[in-house]
Structure 1
Amino acid sequence: MPFPWDHNVHYHEYLLRQVPGHCVRALDVGCGTGRFARRLTARCARVEAVDPDPAMIAEARERTPRRLGVQHTNTALADYGIAAGAYDFVSAVASLHHMDFAESVRAMAHGLAPGGVLAVLGLYREETAADHAAGAAALAPQWAIGAGLFAARTLTGVPSPAAEAPVPMREPRMSLRGVRLAARRHLPGARVRRLLFWRYSLVYRRPLAG
């Protein structure tokens, strides 16, 4: 398990498994301090990362070795000008709830090449009994993972990671039901799954034809 850990990092491997084998060019939307974009460089020849917060982009650039070749841009998705069919993989890790859902998923899907994949790790507003039950069920694993990482650091002598700049936070406005309905309307064929740790995934693969 990678150091440092958080609810989003927990799903990085899951997101990386969605990257198509032929990936040449990828875009990470709302990249924050650039953790996932850095990992994408192992799967895609060219990685671009965008974020509207200048502090986040500054830290992402500082933390990303030049040899990885990530292109960081301080801009919002709406202003980036995604060309049709330009990307084999597009990701949004805990950033979609900061944007307009419909406009953003349409723009990201528009940028996919045939066979390309859009992978979203999103946050949702707890609304139903099932939502609250899922949140309660996440507490014990969260504690266990935290305790395990602390023990591992203690046994191996690995120091605590340097603190990163605080990521701007916003409470999600859409419920999981709302996400599913919106995905059905604006991104037919997308698969939405409830995940642990107050997250969901949305995965869409652009058809090879049409």
Structure 2
Amino acid sequence: MSERVERWEATFAAGRDPWDFWSTPYEQEKFRACTRLLQAGPYQTALEIGCAGGAFTKHLAQRCNEILALDISKAALAQARRRLPEPQVTFARAELPQDWPAGHFDLIVFSEVLYYFTRAEITELARRAEQSLRPGGQILLVNWLGETGEPLSGREAAELFLGACCESVPGSRPQARAPYRVDLLTRTHRTS
């Protein structure tokens, strides 16, 4: 088991919700605000990176016909499956970027996870996301702007990801909703 896997298994041990995603009004309002920025939907297929216990997945499920929700932690995924037994949601364990799933998606979500990756991994994630995004599809980035305790801040992680995307996936102006930032990228319909 890698050090990264051990870290996240310990974080979600014993059914913990380490950031109170399910219970705090702040988290629930953040999820609603981010969901309002998306197209009316429905999105046919969505990919959520770092779903944790499934709290944001619950909001996304209202807009998506199929969701593949990934997390590195088996404990987090077990919590998510208990809390969200929606038939259109598939939860799976993946250590990214190397376990990036096959297929194409209309929506790819990175909510408060990018700063846990290295610079090289963020560049690789952006490349893979771009390759997996259908024409007209969107990538949603949500990043905490406070202290992360990680080598990268949320702002740095977002800018690195945005810089790694090509012109085929331009981003909108970041939405500042202190203490977090939201970037929405939409793939142009032309393919090159």
Q: What TM-score, normalized by structure 2, do the two folds share?
A: 0.72
* Corresponding position: 1:183 with 2:182: no
The percentage of counterpart residues that share the same residue type is 21
Instruction: Tell me the C-alpha RMSD between the 2 structures.
Output: 2.7
Q: Report the count of equivalent residues.
A: 165
The C-alpha deviation readout for 1:143-167, integer Å capped at 9, x for no partner, is: xxxxxxxxxxxxxxxxxxxxxxxxx
- 1:184, CA displacement in angstroms? 3.2
Which residue number corresponds to residue 54 of structure 2? 34
Higher RCO (C-alpha under 8 Å, 6+ residues apart):
1
Which residue number corresponds to residue 116 of structure 1? 137
* Contiguous gaps of at least 5 residues in structure 2: 1-20
Q: Does structure 2 conserve the Cα–Cα contact (< 8 Å) formed by 1:24 and 1:46?
A: yes
The C-alpha deviation readout for 1:171-198, integer Å capped at 9, x for no partner, is: 3613626743652343442235252343
* Corresponding position: 1:171 with 2:142: no
C-alpha distance in structure 1 between counterparts of 2:122 and 2:146, whole Å: 14
Q: Give the residue type in structure 2 aligned to 1:90.
A: I
With over 3 angstroms needed to count, the CA separation of the structure-2 counterparts of 1:196 and 1:16, relative to structure 1, is: closer
Counterparts in 2 of 1:134-173, with a 5 A limit?
170-171=149-150, 173=152
C-alpha distance in structure 2 between counterparts of 1:69 and 1:60, whole Å: 13
With over 3 angstroms needed to count, the CA separation of the structure-2 counterparts of 1:11 and 1:105, relative to structure 1, is: farther
Q: Does structure 2 conserve the Cα–Cα contact (< 8 Å) formed by 1:124 and 1:172?
A: no
Q: 1:92 aligns with which of 97, 110, 118?
A: 110
With over 3 angstroms needed to count, the CA separation of the structure-2 counterparts of 1:195 and 1:8, relative to structure 1, is: farther
Q: Does structure 1 conserve the Cα–Cα contact (< 8 Å) formed by 2:97 and 2:125?
A: yes
Larger radius of gyration: 1
Which residue number corresponds to residue 90 of structure 2? 71
C-alpha distance in structure 2 between counterparts of 1:171 and 1:206, whole Å: 30
C-alpha distance in structure 2 between counterparts of 1:185 and 1:29, whole Å: 17
